[in-house]
């Protein structure tokens, strides 16, 4: 029974994390559309910091902790599908780290990317999530 509760909690925090991963690039687009140094740009810095502090970082930590506990419980480290899943979770974690870094650049007034690129980058978590779900449900190898 404990396994099912851990699995449910893991999935709940994956949903929270994914929501944050989808929201942050959209925040970046709106932030970049605001005039540099304007009160609106300052509001976006604040919103990005809150999203990071309240949703993104805590969810990432809980997802990893619960995911590793679940993996140990089912012996997933010996299964090929899990290695592929772990690779994509590592890539998503790197994407998360990149977003945190880019938020800091925007807060300093550095605007290195266009809104179009940020909109394209917003597709990364959706593609990764689809692949991860297929790996976990179908277990193709």
The total domain count for the chain is: 1
- The two three-digit tokens of residue 72, written as one number: 């140990």
pLDDT at residue 89, rounded to an integer: 98
Residue-number span of the structural domain to which 25 is assigned: 2-138
Tell me the pLDDT tens digit for each residue of 14-37: 999 999 999 999 999 999 999 999
Tell whether pTM > 0.85. Answer: yes
Mean pLDDT, range 56-67, rounded to an integer: 98
Residue 10 marked in a binding site: yes
Q: How far apart are CA 84 and CA 73, in angstroms?
A: 18
Mean pLDDT, range 63-90, rounded to an integer: 97
- The two three-digit tokens of residue 106, written as one number: 């925007």
Tell me the pLDDT tens digit for each residue of 42-60: 999 999 999 999 999 999 9
Q: Burial letters for 70-101: b for 16+ Cβ neighbours within 10 Å, e otherwise?
A: eeeeeebeeeebbebbbebbeebeebbeebee
pLDDT at residue 54, rounded to an integer: 98
pLDDT at residue 50, rounded to an integer: 98
Chain centroid, CA 137 distance in Å: 20
- The two three-digit tokens of residue 135, written as one number: 């790996």
Tell me the pLDDT tens digit for each residue of 78-113: 999 999 999 999 999 999 999 999 999 999 999 999
Residue 53 marked in a binding site: no
């Amino acid at each position: 029974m404990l396994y099912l509760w851990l699995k449910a909690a893991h999935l709940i925090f994956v949903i929270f994390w994914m929501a944050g991963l989808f929201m942050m690039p959209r925040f970046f687009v709106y932030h970049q559309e605001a005039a540099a140094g304007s009160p609106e740009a300052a509001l976006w810095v604040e919103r990005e910091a809150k999203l990071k502090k309240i949703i993104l970082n805590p969810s990432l930590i809980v997802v990893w902790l619960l995911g590793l506990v679940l993996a140990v419980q089912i012996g997933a480290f010996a299964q090929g599908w899990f290695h592929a899943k772990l690779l994509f979770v590592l890539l998503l974690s790197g994407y998360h780290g990149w977003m945190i870094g880019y938020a800091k650049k925007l807060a300093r007034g550095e605007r290195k990317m266009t809104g179009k690129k940020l909109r394209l980058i917003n597709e990364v978590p959706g593609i990764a999530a689809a692949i991860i779900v297929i790996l976990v449900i179908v277990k193709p190898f």
